[in-house]
Amino acid sequence: MTRSRTVAALSLVAGLLAPVAAWADTMNFKLAKNYSRATFKSDAPLETFVGNTAAEGIDGTLAVDPARPQGAKGIVKVDMNTVKTGIEKRDADMRGKPYLETETEANRWVTFEIRNVEIAGPLEPGKTVPAKVRGILTVKQRPVERVVDATVTYIKLTPEQVEAQKRFGFTSDNIKVRATFNTTFTDHAMQVPQVLFLKVANDLQLETDLVFVRN
């Protein structure tokens, strides 16, 4: 093979491989704690109580290729010792026996591990798209599979925008995920709590509003 043919062949191979390399551009993200929150809601006969996270009580990571978001992996963690419902005694009861028992370190964190994502096509900057996130929710060391209804927004900033926003912690690539899903006390081997001798509903609704920034 002549030199010119060799160069041409190598150029053709490089041209074929270049899109593959771009297609496999997995980005690593960390949770922007100050712009993220997780809440849970439970109904009781006389009220609906809501637990809210503090910024220091939520953490997470995400690895995703915007061209192939279906293969995303990650984890979100909530420190239940920082969750508040507005009534201190109720918070203390929630963390004690026979409920979360957060004095045991392994019970302290509620986690959701992302296994895969059902989403149509690649992520496009500035576009919000619906998704179903499949993963494992672990509460009090009891893992259960869950499918989470979510919306995902990919926000890409220009160098000028990054310069203006970097003091807030944002980077060139940012992903916002909003999600809602349900679980139950009994799915995680917890007794259904009582309020004023009346049982709280077994169902728990969880909501997240998460912002991930590229490492």
Contact assessment for residue 9 and residue 1, using Cβ atoms and an 8 Å cutoff? yes
Q: Which residues contact 36 (CB under 8 A, 6 or more apart)?
A: 55, 58, 60, 208, 209, 210, 211
- β-pairing, 194-195 vs 198-199, is antiparallel
Q: Is 82 helix (H, G, I), strand (E, B) or coil?
A: helix
- What b/e string do you get for 162-172 counting C-beta neighbours within 10 Å, with b at 16 or more? eeeeeeeebbb
Q: Please give the Cα distance from 205 to 43 (Å, whole number).
A: 9
DSSP 25: -
Structure confidence at residue 198 (pLDDT):
60
Using alpha carbons only, give the angle 15, 19, 25 rounded to the nearest 5 degrees.
140
Q: 211 vs 55, 173, 180, CA distance in Å?
A: 12, 11, 15
The predicted structure's pLDDT at residue 9: 37
CATH for the stretch 26-214: 2.40.128.110
The pTM is what?
0.83
Give the model's pLDDT for residue 131: 98
Alpha helices in the chain (DSSP H): 3-23, 88-95, 105-108, 159-165
Phi, psi for residue 51 in degrees, rounded to 5: -105, 130
- Model pLDDT, residue 15: 37
Q: What is the pLDDT along the chain (215 residues), one digit of tens a residue?
A: 554 443 333 333 343 344 433 445 899 999 999 999 999 998 877 778 899 998 899 999 999 999 999 999 999 999 999 999 888 988 898 899 888 999 999 999 999 999 999 999 999 999 999 999 999 999 999 999 999 999 999 999 999 999 999 899 999 999 999 999 999 999 998 888 776 556 777 889 999 999 999 99
